[in-house]
Amino acid sequence: MKLSVLITSLLITATFSVQAQIKSKAAVQNSSIDSVLNQVLKDQHIAGFAVAVVKGDQVIYSKGFGYRDLENKKPVTPNTLFAIGSSSKAFTSSLIGLLEKDGKLKLDDKATGLLPQLSFYNAEMNNQITVRDLMAHRTGLSRYDLSWFLFNTTNRDSIISRVKYMKPTSGIRERWYYNNFMFLAQGMIAERLSGKTWEQNIKEKFFDPLEMTRSTTNIETFKNDSDAALPYTVVDGNEIKKIDYYNINGMGPAGSINSSVNDMANWLKVWISGGFFKGKEILPSSYIREAASSQMVMGAGLPAKHEDVFLSNYGLGWMIGSYRGHYSVEHGGNINGFSANVAFYPSDKLGIVVLTNQSVSKVPDVITNSIADIMFGLKRVDWNGEAKAETQKANEVKKELKKTPIVSNTSLSHPLKDYVGSFENDAYGIIKVTLENNALRTILGEEKILLKHMHYDVFDPKSVDKNGVVDTAQSNLMFNFSTGVDGKISGIGIFLDGSEKPVMFDFKPEVKKLDAKTLENLVGEYMMGKTPAKVYLKGDVLYVSVPGQPEYETVVVDETTFELKALKGYSIKFEVLLGKKATSMSFIQPNGTFKAIRKN
């Protein structure tokens, strides 16, 4: 009996001893994390950030640092909302995983077969690109990000229709190219097959069952939250500057989730556990395995500065790597004023989420790696010091970058009013140039832009804030207006998305309506030497035809001038006496102007 009591006493003592050791180790780890993160806050010129660490099904660390509102010194908390940007992608692809589980699609189904609004540049792409290709960024389409960023709309059909004009950079599955449009397509497939919006699906399938009560996909809900972070960027190397929120709306499935680290910790629990949260299946384990496995090589992934950090692959909405002997799965996120990183290490049952209110920040990666080193008991790498040095070097390089030189003693080729109008590119959108207070202006995204003349027909677009203050920094998106053979402004060339040649936005004539009598006076047969040309109406649209050529639909420019809709640079101009029938018609084309006399 005494022996039994003694053994029980020893077991209790041993249990308390183990628990004490675990608590002591956790306290040391938390203290180390605090120390590193406070130094990051000091060194990285950042307003604030929040961090959560998940081990198994437990949140073992959750804390905010710095300010969500710098001016009013409102602190970041673990419940503070941040935009997570492209860390949203794993959510969108997971909707596809659930549809596969329900038998509504297969990952290797043809994408265009599931989404009729989706069409690619050529027949090969339409016939071969699968849903899996969309999920793994292996369609051969490069980013085209400024298409949605500068020409956004709430109409998803309108945005996805631009894809058919996007020329591929490589063949299908030949190279990895990040493309946000492919995640919009996944969100739209989920909408079509479920009969619910992407936003409804995200809430019902993930936010609600995961008790992510703070999370939202709505920008207004986010902005009006009492514990929402304000967006910031860093200018001139170390000045923290508040900027405007960006409303992704139409491109939502690619990155419009706003969340807190406490909420995102529950999302990480699903991936760490193989698909479960509090005993309930959220995602099939089969999908978890596929999504967290390599589907496409992103790059060589060779060890560089650190020999134990290598591998660069992509799964389904996740990036795959090898971090100092540990399999890593992560995805960053960036949108105006916010940066994020969500990472987990499947073999170690460890997850880390870092959310910040700073544009294009190194902080999420610095913190993720620093915490991983502490949790894995590895020799520390000074990730913070390395990032600080890289930022300083980048700032020095930026100062040395040569601005586009201004050619002096040049002038515009036209009066300012001639540059006014709409200019369109099918893969991007429409730029509408207006004339206000003797200056050309436009709107890009939600920003008001002043076009400042540089030289010849080149203008530098300058951002104008709410108070009318014009940004003095030189842009890298110079507007180069071009002139057609008719002497009129015909388009704008802009270098976008790293293009080697300027992307052309063609002048889009304002659609005008002419009365029936005016149009009737133009109808008839004209002779160009011995060649007849017929002018006739179909409804209220004027057509012209020449033997041996297709009929040409025209677009009204003014009462006597019409452009040929299918032929860029071609137009016809009539000579008309007031109230009478046209006496002649001139074909204006790149190789000359050819006159035709009315026959009847």
Cβ atoms within 10 Å, residue 68? 24
352 and 429 housed in the same domain = no
- Quick one: pLDDT band at residue 582, thresholds 50, 70, 90? very high
Structural domain includes residue 255 = yes
Q: How far apart are CA 455 and CA 365, in angstroms?
A: 42
Structural domain includes residue 8 = no
Report the CATH number that the domain containing residue 570 is assigned in CATH.
2.40.128.210
221 and 74 housed in the same domain = yes
Please provide the size of the chain in residues: 600
Structural domain includes residue 550 = yes
259 and 122 housed in the same domain = yes
Structural domain includes residue 1 = no
What tokens were used for 121?
A: 């540049």
Compute the radius of gyration of the chain from its Cα atoms: 30
Residue numbers of the domain that contains 374: 14-395
Q: How far apart are CA 128 and CA 433, in angstroms?
A: 40
DSSP 87: G
Average pLDDT over residues 555-573: 89
Give the residue from 468, 485, 508 where a domain finishes: 508
What tokens were used for 582?
A: 């046209």
* Dihedral sign (CA 446, 46, 323, 271): negative
Whole-structure pTM value? 0.85
429 and 386 housed in the same domain = no
Nearest to 112 by CA among 136, 131, 138: 131
Count of structural domains, the chain:
3
495 and 529 housed in the same domain = no
11 has a pLDDT exceeding 80: no
Q: Is residue 525 within 8 Å of residue 582, measured between CB atoms?
A: no
Report the CATH number that the domain containing residue 480 is assigned in CATH.
2.40.128.600
Q: Is residue 69 within 8 Å of residue 230, measured between CB atoms?
A: yes
192 and 319 housed in the same domain = yes
pLDDT digit string, tens, across residues 192-221 = 999 999 999 999 999 999 999 999 999 999
280 and 427 housed in the same domain = no
426 and 386 housed in the same domain = no
pLDDT digit string, tens, across residues 324-381 = 999 999 999 999 999 999 999 999 999 999 999 999 999 999 999 999 999 999 999 9
What tokens were used for 27?
A: 């306290």
Q: How far apart are CA 84 and CA 303, in angstroms?
A: 28
Structural domain includes residue 401 = no
pLDDT digit string, tens, across residues 370-426 = 999 999 999 999 999 999 999 888 887 776 666 778 899 999 999 999 999 999 999
Structural domain includes residue 210 = yes
Q: How far apart are CA 104 and CA 188, in angstroms?
A: 14
428 and 365 housed in the same domain = no
CA angle 208, 214, 219 (to 5 degrees): 105
The angle, 0 to 180 degrees and rounded to 10, between the axes of the packed helices 383-400 and 363-375 is: 160
- Quick one: pLDDT band at residue 526, thresholds 50, 70, 90? very high
469 and 530 housed in the same domain = no
530 and 425 housed in the same domain = no
227 and 307 housed in the same domain = yes
Q: How far apart are CA 177 and CA 188, in angstroms?
A: 20
